[in-house]
A and B are shown apart, each in its own frame.
Chain A
Amino acid sequence: MVVAQVSSPEVADAGVRFLAEVGAKTAGVSRLEMCIQCGSCGGSCPSADAMDHTPRRLFALMRAGERDEVLHSNTPWMCLSCYHCVVRCPQDILITDVMYALKVIAEEEHTYPNNVGPDFAGVFIGQARRFGRSWEMGLTARHYLRHYILRLPRMTPMALGLLRHGRIGILPHQIHQKKQLQAILRRADELERAR
């Protein structure tokens, strides 16, 4: 199916454009266009069976210009950041960072398959921006109340155990130069929007 579509010039153009778009969003040099479809990534991936497309197939879809399908895929959200595929990839593609880039685009266009991952990241970072440090207690409490109310009965004794062992604080730690950090991040937001 994919082979037949790629043969048309419009589809090939769409594929090239999408590869370039994702490449530009990737933090390092993605080398995405070097993929030889060997499948080492999918074969190495510990969470591949939870993905609707393996990384290899996702890269084939990208090449075929299937932007919508790729951005709605759960594959980037199931990526564990374990870098098994990255060290095994014969073409040195920065697969993990490509997955991050796809998540960033999906965040901007609200195409993520469900909001648990984006919401967790959003709350984590919202607190880190505000305090300069992550706040485990605030993050987990809010996250479980919102998304995993049924896990709470089991989580509550765990949280109490962590509290008793002095492993989780009720209040957040904060840095001194919060204003400086926030000024840096506001400027970074502007630069990111202007890209």
Chain B
Amino acid sequence: MTNYLYYPGCSMEGSGRSYRESLEGICEPLGITFEEIDDWNCCGATEYVSLSTTPAYAMIARNLAIAAGERKGTEPLVAACSACYLNLAKTDHYMGQQPALNARVNDALGAGGLHYDPGTIKVRHLLEVILNDVGLDRVKAAVKKPLTGLKVAPYLGCMVPRPDVDGAYTNHEQPNDLDRLLRALGADVVDYPLKTECCGGHMTQVAPKVGLELIRRLVAEAERREAVMMVTVCPMCQINIDAYQGEMNAMFHTHYKMPIVFFTQLMAVAFGLEPGKAGVGREYTNAKKTLVAALKAAPELALAAAGAAPAHKPRPDKRALPMPRMTDSEVEE
């Protein structure tokens, strides 16, 4: 069992509750444990940095100081929410980069009896931890109910692959991290080129026309790629696409019903947890029916796929232009 410090963030207790429930369901099969840091506070999302700089960073740094105090070894601090992850990582990074900011933040922390030295804690995102520490082999080994035939659009959103202050991502626009993970669960991952496009963040609250158009693009593309659901790593993306889809449909006179779930929910289900226990069904655009139907059809599809494996590689269409093709190993990597 590898232990990590864990910063849940406010969404995980509210609108992103199914993220938390499903995360609890995947720890044991993956051999990891998360220790929630004590009395953590809100990271301020993208709101506080737009209001006032020093208080915004001091508020985030309080969490880093608490985490540093609770650490027993060199364990990193893991966040699952994209905005929380970025705020924590950025604060550590900028305090190290800007001595003046570091001095002001620590002066403020001192008023609460705390101190934080930048660089003490490594902040990491849950997805990256699962891919790099746990590894896909272990994920594959834990799968009891492969999601064969479930066509999903992998939607990573912005703040995990970008700005990437710690250089964890080699590709900031089309990373295949989430694709690889979902494929390890047996899912049929569609090519989704908008995977790191923005859901609009708080725009549904401050400039709805802008926000709803961004949501429309994402949902329309997932539908066009024949995905039956979208899969995300971020509570903000989830609630925007899930709860505001109705308002978006009304604005554009469309009739999309695209469910969106957290990647941990699909992991938990593939590991054998009942969909309901993994928080499936809490969506506003319900994903349960689609998922349950896919799980029922999966064994037959898997059998059919195994029986019908072509002996030879299919010949390319003679009319097609010679195009570079990704070999299987490249797709996997």
- A positions within 8 Å CB-CB of B: 25, 27-29, 46-47, 50, 76-78, 80-84, 86-87, 94, 96-97, 100-101, 103-104, 107, 116-118, 120-122, 124-125, 128-129, 132-134, 136, 140, 143, 148, 151, 154-155, 158, 161-162, 165-169, 173, 175-177, 180-181, 183-189, 191-192, 195
Give A181's nearest chain B residue, CB to CB: B41
Give A107's nearest chain B residue, CB to CB: B51
Knowing that A82-B158, A120-B202, A189-B52 touch, tell me 9 more A-B residue pairs with CB under 8 angstroms: A50-B210, A96-B163, A125-B47, A134-B10, A136-B10, A143-B205, A162-B284, A173-B10, A181-B41
Given A120-B47, A167-B15, A187 contacting B111 (CB threshold 8 A): yes
Pick the residue among A29, A107, A128, A176 that contacts B98 (CB under 8 A): A29
Give A169's nearest chain B residue, CB to CB: B14
> Are B58 and A125 interface neighbours, CB within 8 A?
no
> Are B247 and A128 interface neighbours, CB within 8 A?
no
> Which of B17, B45, B53, B247 has the largest count of A CB atoms less than 10 A from its CB?
B53
Q: List 15 A-B contacts (CB under 8 A).
A: A27-B90, A28-B90, A80-B200, A87-B164, A104-B51, A117-B50, A118-B51, A128-B48, A158-B243, A187-B107, A187-B110, A188-B55, A188-B58, A188-B108, A192-B104
> Are A47 and B203 interface neighbours, CB within 8 A?
yes
> Are A121 and B51 interface neighbours, CB within 8 A?
yes
B205 CB → nearest A CB, Å:
5
A129-B202 Cα distance, complex, nearest whole Å: 19
> Are A168 and B15 interface neighbours, CB within 8 A?
yes
> Are B200 and A25 interface neighbours, CB within 8 A?
no
Number of interface residues of B (CB under 8 A): 71
> Are A158 and B284 interface neighbours, CB within 8 A?
yes
> Are A184 and B108 interface neighbours, CB within 8 A?
yes
A79-B308 Cα distance, complex, nearest whole Å: 50
A143-B313 Cα distance, complex, nearest whole Å: 58
> Are A101 and B53 interface neighbours, CB within 8 A?
yes
For A148, list chain B residues within 8 Å (CB).
208
A82-B246 Cα distance, complex, nearest whole Å: 23
B67 CB → nearest A CB, Å:
15
Give A154's nearest chain B residue, CB to CB: B247
> Are B207 and A192 interface neighbours, CB within 8 A?
no
The answer to the question of B34 belonging to the interface, with a C-beta cut-off of 8 Å to chain A, is no
Give A131's nearest chain B residue, CB to CB: B42
The answer to the question of B322 belonging to the interface, with a C-beta cut-off of 8 Å to chain A, is no
Pick the residue among A76, A143, A167 that contacts B14 (CB under 8 A): A167
> Are A188 and B159 interface neighbours, CB within 8 A?
no
A82 CB → nearest B CB, Å:
4
Report B51-107 residues with CB < 8 Å from chain A CB: 51-55, 57-59, 62, 90, 93-94, 97-98, 101, 104-105, 107
> Are A100 and B50 interface neighbours, CB within 8 A?
yes
> Are A28 and B159 interface neighbours, CB within 8 A?
no
A15 CB → nearest B CB, Å:
22
A54 CB → nearest B CB, Å:
15
Given A50-B207, A124-B47, A181-B59, A134 contacting B42 (CB threshold 8 A): yes
A129-B59 Cα distance, complex, nearest whole Å: 9
Pick the residue among B47, B55, B110 that contacts A189 (CB under 8 A): B55
> Which of A46, A117, A155, A161 has the largest count of B CB atoms less than 10 A from its CB?
A46
> Are A87 and B53 interface neighbours, CB within 8 A?
no
The answer to the question of B145 belonging to the interface, with a C-beta cut-off of 8 Å to chain A, is no
The answer to the question of B49 belonging to the interface, with a C-beta cut-off of 8 Å to chain A, is yes
> Are B49 and A100 interface neighbours, CB within 8 A?
yes
Pick the residue among A84, A104, A154, A158 that contacts B50 (CB under 8 A): A104
A174-B7 Cα distance, complex, nearest whole Å: 15
Give B105's nearest chain A residue, CB to CB: A188
The answer to the question of B250 belonging to the interface, with a C-beta cut-off of 8 Å to chain A, is yes
> Are A27 and B203 interface neighbours, CB within 8 A?
no
For A116, list chain B residues within 8 Å (CB).
206-207
> Are B101 and A173 interface neighbours, CB within 8 A?
no
A35 CB → nearest B CB, Å:
17
For A140, list chain B residues within 8 Å (CB).
205
For B13, list chain A residues within 8 Å (CB).
133, 169, 173
Pick the residue among A129, A133, A180 that contacts B112 (CB under 8 A): A180
